[in-house]
Amino acid sequence: MFVDQVKVYVKAGDGGNGLVSFRREKYIPFGGPSGGDGGDGADIVFEVDEGLNTLMDFRYQRHFKAKRGENGMSKGQHGKNAHPMVLSVPPGTIVKDALTGEFLADLTEHGQRALIAKGGRGGRGNIRFASPKNPAPEIAEKGEPGTERDIIIELKLIADVGLVGFPSVGKSTLLSVVSAARPKIADYHFTTLAPNLGVVETGDNRSFVMADLPGLIEGAHTGIGLGHQFLRHVERTRIIIHVIDMAATEGRDPYQDYLAINEELQAYDPTILERPQIIVANKMDMPDAEDQLVAFKEQLKEPHPIFPISALTKEGLANLLFFIADQLEKIPKNTKPIEEKSEHIIYKHQEEQAPFQITRDPDGAFVLYGDKLEKLFKMTDLTREESIQRFSRQMRTMGVDQALRERGAKDGDTVRLLKYEFEFVE
């Protein structure tokens, strides 16, 4: 109930390709290299928008691919970098790598950003490969592939409003009729053992998070009953919804109930009573409720608004929800996290991986894999001899040839890398 979760695929933009080109100007018979670098691919960035409450948008779209960088151009011009793809998430969002469980971000404050997938670097154009030995290189890099990964997005809901009151006054019933939450409801005390949260959608497309808390009784602040351990949730809510059984079903006096609960809140944390409080007079469908309400209003000293409702017949709910949404718009969010945060990390570096590994296919072919090697390969322009030669040199420097030899590779043996095959040459 507390955590909403979605799995999503993200792919940052690939870098643009570097260009091979040569100057062809009048009067300069042997123009030098002039191919520019490709632009960087777009990052995928998450940004907190405090206006959001749910991960709903990610339920509708689960694939996100960011734009690639522009290719390099002639006359040494860089391709343009792609603008980052910024996705809005609600406060309380946590992002993890689905495969490794690696913690990627903990987003709590409005405007806070985290890099979720890094765009690829633009490939270098042939200008960059010029050297005294090779003044006219026919070589350019392709763009680096953008990071792609499956991620788990989790939302730790932060309640905007909290329902407080004696046991069995109908707190869970109220939550169940205004949200998709399905808390347990019964006519005995302490039916609710832990807070339930639900997202409430008003008829006019606004939404807020409502917490249904276990019932409070006298002495709750000293640890009697269950409620006290959950009062810390009330500390963070912006509005207190005080639910009262106006039918006095259990023979108690509604106004005395009201005083008793406020005393508990006051004893737990005096600042809670400074918060706006809305009184919900519930069970108005019952015979005596109207008379009780009149008596209650006569005794009430505080200027708290009172909303007579019946959670059972759903009478009076729409007005209550509109009023809550209106009030919330006037009160800034409290972004102080409930739990002590164990992790403050936003970026975590990748664990060092082996640059490549070798296995064998059933037909005896050697198979090369590994992020670093695959990335270098993807950046190689296979249509140009010089590029292929450069890749061979890179493999030799990384120790691939030596490792293949040690695994028993002989001249003419097949070596596979991604979808390609080569011959091992001694």
Ligand X SMILES: Nc1nc2c(ncn2[C@@H]2O[C@H](COP(=O)(O)OP(=O)(O)OP(=O)(O)O)[C@@H](O)[C@H]2O)c(=O)[nH]1
Q: How far is the CB of 199 from ligand X (least distance, A)?
A: 18
* Nearer to ligand X among residue 107 and residue 161 (C-beta): 161
Q: How far is it, in rounded angstroms, from Cα 385 to Cα 60?
A: 46
Sign of the dihedral through C-alpha 159, 161, 167, 171: negative
Q: How far is it, in rounded angstroms, from Cα 342 to Cα 340?
A: 6
Q: How many CA atoms lie within 13 A of 171 on its CB side?
A: 32
Show the tokens assigned to 272. 């809670």
Residues that bind ligand X (CB under 6 A): 165, 167-173, 185-187, 189-192, 214-215, 282-283, 285-286, 310-312
Residues that bind Mg ion (CB under 5 A): 171-172, 191-192
| Degrees to nearest 5, angle at CA 30 with 25 and 33 | 80
Q: By C-alpha distance, which of 52, 136, 147, 40 is closest to 92?
A: 52
Residue 147 binds: one of Mg ion, ligand X, none (C-beta under 5 to 8 A by kind)? none
* Nearer to ligand X among residue 256 and residue 350 (C-beta): 256
Q: How far is the CB of 191 from ligand X (least distance, A)?
A: 4
Residue 169 binds: one of ligand X, Mg ion, none (C-beta under 5 to 8 A by kind)? ligand X
* Nearer to Mg ion among residue 171 and residue 233 (C-beta): 171
* Nearer to ligand X among residue 126 and residue 282 (C-beta): 282
Q: How far is the CB of 293 from Mg ion (least distance, A)?
A: 22
Q: How far is the CB of 173 from ligand X (least distance, A)?
A: 3
Phi, psi of 384, deg, nearest 5: -120, 130
Q: How far is it, in rounded angstroms, from Cα 112 to Cα 403?
A: 46
Q: How far is the CB of 48 from Mg ion (least distance, A)?
A: 31
Q: How far is the CB of 266 from ligand X (least distance, A)?
A: 20
Residue 48 binds: one of Mg ion, ligand X, none (C-beta under 5 to 8 A by kind)? none
Residue 286 binds: one of Mg ion, ligand X, none (C-beta under 5 to 8 A by kind)? ligand X
Identify residue 119 by its one-letter amino acid code: G
Q: How far is it, in rounded angstroms, from Cα 309 to Cα 169?
A: 12
* Nearer to ligand X among residue 125 and residue 195 (C-beta): 195
Q: By C-alpha distance, which of 388, 309, 386, 418 is closest to 131?
A: 386
